[in-house]
Structure 1
Amino acid sequence: MSKEEIQNDVENDNIEEQVIENQEISVEEDLQIKLKEEKDKYLRLFAEFENYKKRTSKERVELFKTANQDVMVALLPVLDDFDRAYGEISKTKEKNLLKGVELISNKLKNLLQSKGLEIVEVQAGDTFNADHHEAITQIPAPTPDLKGKIIDVIEKGYKLGEKVIRFPKVVIGQ
């Protein structure tokens, strides 16, 4: 072999090595791109799963609140009846009967309060607010300072947590 042939062979070998190196770099770049794509898919799937867990947890809590709310709303007339019964029995002289009704009423109220039921505090003389009260009727105000204010509370209002489940029913002065 001549010197030129050897040099050509060496150059061909170098060219082949460069082509192989370029192919290896190209394959490595392709793998890097595929790896990035798979990481992106994984992160998106993970984020979607985390959102799913949060959403289902929130829905479960809402379901319990809603179920609890239905029971509470159904028991509100019973609370009203106990208050009316207590008011009438307190007018009699039978203290044992009064004590029995009071014990049962307190037990029911304490149970419902432990489950999140709260009374919406409203008193005669408070300013009427249509967002927080339900006006049953308007009567002429007994005094000028009671115009637009609550004259009487007909039915108590109740909240379950932060949500009002029954607005207080009031009479307002005009």
Structure 2
Amino acid sequence: MGVTTRYLGHVTITPRLDQAEYDHLRAVSRGEVPLVGPDELEPWCPWEPCAHGCCLRWSGSDSHGTGAEGLQLLIDRFLSPDDRGAPIDSLDDPELPGLTFDHDTNGVIACEDGERGLFLLRVDHGRVRVEMLLGGDPSPWELGLDAAERLPWLSPEPTPEERNRLFNEATLAAVRASLGAEGG
């Protein structure tokens, strides 16, 4: 069973994408254009450009892992002036039409994995860094509806009215016990 990771935030792209760049990155995010060469293992890449071409955001696809590797490859191969299409050497390559490689990318994306782990993806001038905030805590069992019966510490707290009722019953029982002991 895979772990689903959810993302909140975006990575800004400066200057914003032109139409050819936008179309190319949308094709990559849909899996129509490969992110890597034919001899490389395709990383999972859930990132897509927003409708305005000013940022990268989570595509909403089900994910496994952090997505950091796919984000870094996307920036390196199609946006960053530093790596300029690496490992593709020629800007005349027919698979890279209209890409300018002149974009700076920055941002912070908050992430939660399916095991309750929290982390950040920090992008600073095209470099992606994973910053763990809280390690995951996978449950060894499915909780389900009967969790409170199996795991008493998961039982809901009583309401104030229920606490008062229980206190009154305990007090009444103590008074009766006390009267019974005195009367005998």
In which range does the TM-score fall when normalised by the shorter chain? Answer: under 0.3
| More helix as a share of residues | 1
In the superposition, the TM-score normalised over structure 1's length comes to 0.18
In the superposition, the TM-score normalised over structure 2's length comes to 0.17
| More strand as a share of residues | 2
